[in-house]
Structure 1
Amino acid sequence: MSTVSYALTDSATMVRRNLKRLARYPSMTVMLVGMPIVFLLLFVYVFGGTLGAGIGGPSGGRAEYVNYVTPAIILMTITAAVQGTSISVAMDMTEGIVDRFRTMAIARISVLTGHVVGSLVQTMLSIAAVIGVALLIGFRPSAGPGDWLALTGVLVMMAFAFIWLSVALGLASKTVESSSNVGMPLILLPFLGSGFVPTDSMPTALRWFAEYQPFTPLIETIRGLLMGTPIGNSAAIAVGWCVVITLGGYLWSKKLFNRESTR
């Protein structure tokens, strides 16, 4: 077998390991998918009537707001996975299992690949659950088959980017406890974008930040594909941010993992 074949085989083994961990300890998945669902229900049923009336649209009120806010909740589902992945990586690094892997004849990158692919599967299942709940409470997307296919590709790309970043954050964390907090800004940033209210309703300084931070084009791309709203250049900007975050997260993860290997 070639080096690439060995790496792929080892990566598949690590992916199975992480998927088995998810199956044996479903509490983490429930927590990660539960938080976005709680936010969805909170904003729709507590704030939706007032915020939806402010947004306007043909229906107004809560029915309008659930269509507006669901794309932001979908993105929050992805960022919530950052927390779970960083915790999982930090656990492996602090409990000694990685030291055992290093004594074996396996591709070192496969350890990280297992976390990335396993978390990607978990994230996509969580997104499906969130969309299902949104549909039950009145979310009515206008996306056609092509839009749903494009949306799936975009969501996979976004999840892949943030998961690599979360792997780096988990490697950089000194303890499992600290790893549970490092991803918190990524969960909060959608609130400072166009996810919950239009940016033109914000004060000037906050509006400038909201329009130029990476989460706004990501949300607008998801919203445009689901609801048929104008996307403009948001899709290109979103893809650019995903490439930058993926590359940065991968290189940072590789550097940290290799540094630990030499100790």
Structure 2
Amino acid sequence: MTFISDTFTLAGRLIKHNLRSLDTIITVVLMPIALLLLMVYIFGGAIQIDDISHAQYVNYVLPGILLMTVATGSAYTALRINMDKTSGMFDRFKTLPISKSAVLNGQAVASVVFMMTSTSIVLAVGFIVGFRSDASLGEWLLALLLLVGFAIAVTWLSVPFALAANSIDGASAFSYLVLLLFISSAFVPVTGMPEFVRIFAENQPMTHVIQALRQLLAAQPIGDHGWIALAWLVGITIVFYLLGTRIYRHA
């Protein structure tokens, strides 16, 4: 079908741009790796005094680092969409005999492909520094689907912000989404947080995604976290897909 071929053609254009951008590679790939090493070898060393082994802490912190890798990639998605908008590229696309939906869909496909590639690299580094998993093939597949679902959700979450921003500086504000990971169970248990912070941390979507991912990789039951994470991801994707496409049509 035309819209599928158009989507992948436009996605290929963006993937080439990403691979040629040293700044993107440093921020989306190298920074999460640097944070992983920081958490494992500096903060992790201090935590080991409480009888938590190196391997246990790596296993605990890696899911949060993987989500940070994806969230960082979504910030660059917002920048790329805004650059295409402000440079007039979207206006050019509208004059071409291509599927109109392929423009944003191509952005989304390129974003998810790049996110999952960078996440795979960070995961490989995690294995090098001591990450180990007893998960079965089925649990690994569910973990992969969860990461892909999170990548799709935050990609579409970035679209309306990118389209509404009048400049790259405005679109770059979306990068603050990453800060929500520090108010979750990504790096430390929420039980030690002040009560008003703990209530937010326990119920925000990233905590449920992290907990479900952590349990899957540890070959443990995910409980309610899986269903709650799925509900959040599907809801975010639908709402912001509709909002983003509406803004694009009227831009």
- Per the shorter chain, which TM-score range? over 0.9
Shift of 1:25: 2.5
Matched, 1:159 2:151: yes
Amino acid at match of 1:206: V
Shift of 1:53: 4.2
Question: Mind listing any 5+ residue stretches in structure 1 that lack a counterpart?
Answer: none
Could you tell me how far apart the structure 1 residues matched to 2:204 and 2:236 are?
13
Q: Is the 8 A contact 1:50 1:61 kept in 2?
A: no
Matched, 1:42 2:46: no
| Partner of residue 185, structure 2 | 194
TM-score scaled by structure 1?
A: 0.91
Shift of 1:229: 3.5
| Partner of residue 139, structure 2 | 147
Matched, 1:24 2:20: yes
| Count of aligned positions | 251
Could you tell me how far apart the structure 1 residues matched to 2:248 and 2:41 are?
45
Check 1:140–1:53 CA distance in 2 against 1; reply closer, same or farther (3 A cut).
farther
Shift of 1:170: 1.2
Question: Mind listing any 5+ residue stretches in structure 2 that lack a counterpart?
Answer: none
Matched, 1:256 2:229: no
| Partner of residue 123, structure 1 | 115
Residues 1-36 of structure 1, C-alpha deviations (whole Å, 9 max, x = no match): xxxx22222212211211222233343133211221
Shift of 1:222: 0.7
TM-score scaled by structure 2?
A: 0.95
Could you tell me how far apart the structure 2 residues matched to 1:53 and 1:214 are?
31
Residues 92-147 of structure 1, C-alpha deviations (whole Å, 9 max, x = no match): 00111111111112211111011100111100111101111111111112212111
Q: Is the 8 A contact 1:92 1:98 kept in 2?
A: yes
Amino acid at match of 1:152: L
Matched, 1:205 2:201: no
Query: Residues 22-101 of structure 1: matches in 2 within 5 Å?
Result: 22-54=18-50, 56=51, 60-101=52-93
Check 1:52–1:169 CA distance in 2 against 1; reply closer, same or farther (3 A cut).
farther
Could you tell me how far apart the structure 2 residues matched to 1:190 and 1:141 are?
22
Q: Is the 8 A contact 2:19 2:25 kept in 1?
A: no
Could you tell me how far apart the structure 2 residues matched to 1:134 and 1:155 are?
16
Q: Is the 8 A contact 1:32 1:80 kept in 2?
A: yes
| Partner of residue 244, structure 1 | 235
Could you tell me how far apart the structure 2 residues matched to 1:45 and 1:255 are?
46
- Percentage identity across paired residues of the two chains: 39
Runs of 4+ in 1 over 4 A off after TM superposition: none
Shift of 1:61: 3.7
| Partner of residue 133, structure 1 | 125
Check 1:111–1:52 CA distance in 2 against 1; reply closer, same or farther (3 A cut).
farther
Shift of 1:52: 4.2
Could you tell me how far apart the structure 2 residues matched to 1:43 and 1:220 are?
18
